[in-house]
Structure 1
Amino acid sequence: MYLEHYGLKEPPFKITPHTEFFYAGANRGATLEALIYAVVHGEGLVKVTGEVGAGKTMLCRVLMEKLPATIDTVYLANPSLSREEILLAIADDLKLELDGARSTVLIRLLQDALIERFAAGRQVVVLIDEAHAMPPESLEEIRLLSNLEHGHHKLLQLVLFGQPELDTKLAVPEMRQLRERITHSFELAPLMRTDIKEYLSFRMRTAGYRGPDIFSASAIKLISAESEGLTRRINILADKSLLAAYATGKHEVTDSQARAAIKDSQFRPARWKRGQPYLAGIALLGLGLGLGLAIPQVGHRSPVTAPHSTAKPERPAPSVQPTTTVAPTTPAAAPTTPTSAVHPAPLQTAATTPDVVSTRLTAGTELLGTANAGEFAIQLILADRDNEKALTRFLEQAARSVPLDRLYIYPTQANGRHHYGVMLGLYPDQQSAMQALKQLPGELLSHRPLLRTVGGIRKEVGEKISIAANR
């Protein structure tokens, strides 16, 4: 209805998953990359949790598109299937001839088919959406399927997508065998205000918008607070805000339209007394054009917290863009190599080093040019390249806990914007990098660091890094 008004080719804030609108900022892109790695390298059982409307289904759909062509995907959208129905659904997707086979025979047929595909160089991954709603007996069947092996290789990869209730369900003693088979756990945390600004701009421009940013800072602040960072709520509020602005002939979404959208959405009890004219405009416009504005409502929930932890208040937005932790759930072990050690004693800080950003950027470029592609680093943050003061402050903070000469900066892009990545490293393997990550102090862990390979960073920065190894 407002597409021509804003020069859009399609609605920018549909709540149904549309993979072209996948936002790779915050922890989304990093989680996708880690999921692809886990599936391709046969990591067995993987779990992804997030609040209602956090974007789990979108992530699942994008994962299906991004996996290599040698991987066959089985998508189970109905979590209420019985044990036998799960087997039948997988077998049906793999086009197996069943002829009314019983469960025991069905498992053998499935294993034979998986071995045949493995011999042909193919893998099979089962993606289970809404896994928190699975009955215990079906989860037990998932555990048994995770045991299917050929030699030293897993024949079936399984990825569970679910709400935080999945962690509660897996925490009971009866589920410990399944819980211990989960090699990686990822969390889709709510977007923060700085992420939401980028998210709104990204969705608008993906839909064809080419003008200046439409959402004012005050509107973004209101949408951020009301949505609690959940992408589905953001989409609903942004769509209604655009409609309210269109109804009054405006091109910018201000706090007035945002308040009207908030009141109409009723995610929480009504608190706003302003914005009534805009609500009336939305209603009259809808009646005049025969458009219903009924949009599914989402019950109030607090932001998602990490598995097996108590809920904490939402963390205020830092001055640099955070990343999210992408790490296995295996217990941390003491470091075994000198390279994985993180020194807690205060060392030289950025304040005592002249032009620290330029110095560490040069060091990062040289490091990425000579290091092995399989080595690991800990990506601490992505920082806006135009805010060098904030980056310098972060380096000063980090240098109180880790050696400054082990902090490296590299240029990159995220959602069309230039950033600097700050990494700590290098580490010879994933285990030593994970040990070092778990030993980071709380002020660095609060930025949600993640593990990256040198090869992955090189692909990301592309021509910006001269690979000295190829000289």
Structure 2
Amino acid sequence: MNAPVSAPHAASPYAPAPHGMYLRHFGLRTAPFGITPDPAFFYPGNTRGELLDALLYAVTQGEGIIKLTGEVGSGKTMLCRMLAERLPPHVDVLYLLNPRLEPDDVLHAIAAELGLELDGCRADAVLRVLHGELITRHAAGRQVVLLAEEAQAMPGATLEALRLLTNLETASHKLLQIVLFGQPELQHTLDLPQFRPLKERITHSFSVPPLPPALLGDYLACRLSAAGRTAPLVFTPAALRKLARAAQGIVRRVNILADKALLAAFADDAQEISARHMRLAIADSPFYRAPWHAGKLLAGALSALMLLATALLWQWLANSPGKTAATVRTAPPASQAFQASQASQGHATTPADAHPGALQAAAARAPLPAPSTLLDNKLAESRDWLARQGAQQLVLQIASLPATETAAAETFLQQAQQATGLHDLHVFRLPGGAPAKTPRNTSAARLLIVYGSFADQASAEAVRARLAPASPQKILLSDIDSIRTEMKAMIAAKTGRGAP
């Protein structure tokens, strides 16, 4: 009778049937590289063990808020599970699994975790009952800790509600200990001025490091041993190099790729994992990218290409001071766009198919809208982006040009899109009378092109320092609030002109 087939991995596209044979082939009791954070597979290397000890110490001290951040797939949830498992018996562990709850819902969720039936109660009533329950548990020698995952996704009001819960205390002890687990964006949020009170409550802050290539073999051996493998399973040096390059230190990626490589080796009836097996695993993975997208090489390439695109824009402006938007065509004329559209739908577009006078009459009856350009789309997208930013967020002003130079801006955006993408690039049409700190202080309306969004000046200065040496113009800092002020002034001016 064949051994039972193990459940397929959530991330693996392979059919579950071969998995049982895969396990027997390599002498395994269970799949060694699942992505579910099973404490039985905890790897204590690469400071994971030290981080767990530090978390245990910080929680048992019972003071303030604890924060642990790490990249997606770096092992935060595993540490959360290990912390819950290793805490002393007198500690009651609560989980906050849904980060998008509103403040009142958070209170009800915590009450439910404590076994309190408070459905339909108002928030102030829930808080009073919570306070009483926490005091009762403290008097009985119990300690309560709340583990909140995906904290970077919490609404600001919910983070503030958690901070206020730390006010529940006796003369000498906090009644509720909170541990926040989140991605690096959590730190960016905490750096915003409005979250300074919460940031001040954080007494211990930890970060999960990526897994370095030198420890890959040790990590794989640890997982294989936990899965029942008694003899070493060889991953060739070439396979490990490919794995390190593709996974970029993210343990979830290591698990996904190692699992698929084992399946590829099983298909070859091999007892070692070769570079070919790893190459097949990488090509089948959803996060596969061309080699130049990896790690620091990606950051360097993006910076260099952004500089190139920016320099081309500045060069265009310097060499063509008299050019207008009509000088450089970045989209076909409206008539050509109309003809192309009609042709694609099977309609006649030539004088042989219709009388010229009829075409002119039709055009007069239904004037064509101007074709949407990359600049138009980016202007609209940037307005939405601006509304979501904190007032004190900083940006880098990389160019400012007259609003009439739409062709120059369109050319720049096309070059930047091909070189780096436009995610961190934003464009705003601003009125005349620019503040002195903008690159061009002109009285005419202008297009302002900015880069990035930074929580503090140090972060912005670090990026500006990398860009400045290659920039023919000075790159200046500005804040979101000043851009909003100018946008409001432009809207007010338009409203005033349109008033009777």
TM range (shorter): 0.5 to 0.7
User: Which of the residues 67, 79, 82 maps onto 1:62?
Assistant: 82
User: Which of the residues 30, 39, 50 maps onto 2:50?
Assistant: 30
Check 1:265–1:166 CA distance in 2 against 1; reply closer, same or farther (3 A cut).
same
Check 1:168–1:312 CA distance in 2 against 1; reply closer, same or farther (3 A cut).
farther
Residue of structure 2 in register with 1:242 after alignment:
262
2: CA distance, partners of 1:312 / 1:67? 43
User: 2:75–2:251: 8 Å Cα contact kept in structure 1?
Assistant: yes
1: CA distance, partners of 2:295 / 2:151? 20
2: CA distance, partners of 1:234 / 1:29? 19
User: 1:56–1:161: 8 Å Cα contact kept in structure 2?
Assistant: yes
Deviations 1:48-67 (A, max 9, x none): 00001001111111111111
Query: SS at 1:150's partner residue?
Result: coil
Residue of structure 2 in register with 1:126 after alignment:
146
Query: SS at 2:228's partner residue?
Result: coil
Deviations 1:229-275 (A, max 9, x none): 10100001100111111101101001111111111114233469xxx
Query: SS at 1:36's partner residue?
Result: helix
User: 1:130–1:163: 8 Å Cα contact kept in structure 2?
Assistant: yes
2:11 corresponds to 1:3? no
Deviations 1:416-449 (A, max 9, x none): xxxxxxxxxxxxxxxxxxxxxxxxxxxxxxxxxx
How far residue 98 of structure 1 moved from its aligned partner, in angstroms, is 2.4
Q: How does the TM-score come out when normalised to structure 1? A: 0.57
1: CA distance, partners of 2:295 / 2:62? 34
Once the two structures are superposed, the pairs formed by residues 249-398 of structure 1 within 5 Å of their partners are 249-270=269-290
The code of the aligned residue for 2:238 comes to S
How far residue 119 of structure 1 moved from its aligned partner, in angstroms, is 0.7
Number of residue pairs the alignment of both structures matches = 279
Moved over 6 A (4+): none
The code of the aligned residue for 1:170 comes to L
User: Which of the residues 177, 190, 211 maps onto 2:210?
Assistant: 190
User: 1:263–1:271: 8 Å Cα contact kept in structure 2?
Assistant: no
1: CA distance, partners of 2:199 / 2:291? 43
How far residue 301 of structure 1 moved from its aligned partner, in angstroms, is 8.4
2:171 corresponds to 1:148? no
Residue of structure 1 in register with 2:59 after alignment:
39
User: 2:32–2:223: 8 Å Cα contact kept in structure 1?
Assistant: yes
The code of the aligned residue for 2:288 comes to R
User: 2:213–2:244: 8 Å Cα contact kept in structure 1?
Assistant: yes
User: 1:131–1:160: 8 Å Cα contact kept in structure 2?
Assistant: yes
1: CA distance, partners of 2:152 / 2:145? 19
How far residue 113 of structure 1 moved from its aligned partner, in angstroms, is 0.8
Check 1:238–1:95 CA distance in 2 against 1; reply closer, same or farther (3 A cut).
same
Residue of structure 1 in register with 2:185 after alignment:
165
Deviations 1:120-178 (A, max 9, x none): 00000000010000000000001101111111111100000000010111111000000
2:194 corresponds to 1:174? yes
Residue of structure 1 in register with 2:232 after alignment:
212
Residue of structure 1 in register with 2:244 after alignment:
224
User: 2:63–2:173: 8 Å Cα contact kept in structure 1?
Assistant: no
Deviations 1:330-389 (A, max 9, x none): xxxxxxxxxxxxxxxxxxxxxxxxxxxxxxxxxxxxxxxxxxxxxxxxxxxxxxxxxxxx
2: CA distance, partners of 1:12 / 1:241? 12
Check 1:159–1:301 CA distance in 2 against 1; reply closer, same or farther (3 A cut).
farther
2: CA distance, partners of 1:3 / 1:132? 38
Check 1:57–1:153 CA distance in 2 against 1; reply closer, same or farther (3 A cut).
same
2:105 corresponds to 1:94? no
2: CA distance, partners of 1:128 / 1:312? 35
Check 1:154–1:198 CA distance in 2 against 1; reply closer, same or farther (3 A cut).
same
User: Which of the residues 108, 128, 146 maps onto 1:108?
Assistant: 128
Residue of structure 2 in register with 1:48 after alignment:
68
The code of the aligned residue for 1:249 comes to D
1: CA distance, partners of 2:207 / 2:223? 22
Check 1:99–1:132 CA distance in 2 against 1; reply closer, same or farther (3 A cut).
closer
Residue of structure 2 in register with 1:469 after alignment:
none
How far residue 101 of structure 1 moved from its aligned partner, in angstroms, is 2.4
Query: SS at 2:189's partner residue?
Result: helix
2: CA distance, partners of 1:148 / 1:302? 44
Higher relative contact order (CA 8 A, sep 6+): 1
1: CA distance, partners of 2:34 / 2:229? 15
Gap regions ≥5 residues in structure 1: 273-299, 304-310, 314-471
Deviations 1:69-88 (A, max 9, x none): 10001111110011011110
Query: SS at 1:79's partner residue?
Result: coil
Deviations 1:165-205 (A, max 9, x none): 10111111000000110000110110001221111000011
2: CA distance, partners of 1:100 / 1:245? 57
The code of the aligned residue for 2:216 comes to I
2: CA distance, partners of 1:149 / 1:122? 13
The code of the aligned residue for 2:200 comes to E
How far residue 312 of structure 1 moved from its aligned partner, in angstroms, is 10
Residue of structure 2 in register with 1:431 after alignment:
none
Query: SS at 2:66's partner residue?
Result: strand
Residue of structure 1 in register with 2:451 after alignment:
none
The code of the aligned residue for 1:199 comes to Y
Query: SS at 2:273's partner residue?
Result: coil
Which of the two has higher C-alpha Rg?
2
Check 1:82–1:266 CA distance in 2 against 1; reply closer, same or farther (3 A cut).
closer
2: CA distance, partners of 1:153 / 1:301? 47
**Percent identity over paired residues:** 52
Query: SS at 1:160's partner residue?
Result: strand
Residue of structure 2 in register with 1:72 after alignment:
92
